[in-house]
Amino acid sequence: MIAIPAIDLREGACVQLVGGSYSDERVRVKDPMDALLRWRSHGFRTFHVVDLDAALGKGSNEGPIGKLLSHEPGLTFSVGGGVRSTAKVEAVLALGAAYVVVGTRAIEDGAWLREVAERFPGRVVVAADVKGREVVTRGWTAGSARDIREVLESLEPLPLAGLLVTAVHKEGQMEGVDLPLMEEVAQTSRHPLYASGGVTTVEDLRALGRVGAFGAVIGMALYTGTLDAAEVAREFA
């Protein structure tokens, strides 16, 4: 299993939010490149970039994303946030992303998801953001009334690169992961699982690896120093 630092972009800066609340910003790094260089210095090579402004329809961080993706050859980036059209999928991949992460429209419009997954096989990751068991959309502000199991079944036939499952109720809390949820996803779906939300300790990472996660996206615990980046990189980068 690999650990993947999150680089969440808001107003051109790299931020960390508590519980997905845009009014509760805990960390702000003015230049996202500083965050990338910090994690690279420890040996991380795979990164997850989210455009929070685009997710809420409040703007775009395409400029900073382009700088991050063009900084160093050989790094792997997944990029998401507000990707709700085929043109945007193409634009993200053209910037140099290895994978494009689609959430809201993927959950709400199965026909569109099938179209982009088949057009870009192995390049599309579906983000399933879960509160309790309900998959939520639109920057975690809207419910879908769909259980995670139902969503997983609908995704099974598609040629996806993976599933990014975020336990929204754990996000930014630094109180551990929702291990039963992640184990259920790993056992139910054939797609690689990228787990997100609540990773606080190295043992959380080991536990996710044991239940079958392919990767884990880490944010708050790295940025606050709760997790030792060097230790995590040695074992999981």
- Give me the mean pLDDT over the 88-95 stretch: 97
pLDDT score of 66: 97
What confidence tier does 138 reach under pLDDT thresholds 50, 70, 90? low
What confidence tier does 168 reach under pLDDT thresholds 50, 70, 90? confident
Per the annotation, the verdict on 129 as an active-site residue is yes
pLDDT score of 13: 96
Per the annotation, the verdict on 8 as an active-site residue is yes
pLDDT score of 229: 97
Alpha carbon 191 to chain centroid, angstroms: 15
**Which one is catalytic: 53, 129, 178, 204?**
129
* 89-96 own/partner pairs: CB under 8 Å, 24+ apart: 89/116, 89/120, 89/124, 91/62, 92/65, 93/120, 93/123, 95/62, 95/65, 95/66, 95/69, 95/70, 96/66, 96/69, 96/70
Cβ within 8 Å of residue 97, ≥6 positions away? 49, 69, 77, 78, 79
**Which of 20-34, 151-165, 220-234 shows the lowest mean pLDDT across its residues?**
20-34
Indicate whether this model's pTM tops 0.75: yes
- Does residue 19 carry a pLDDT above 70? no
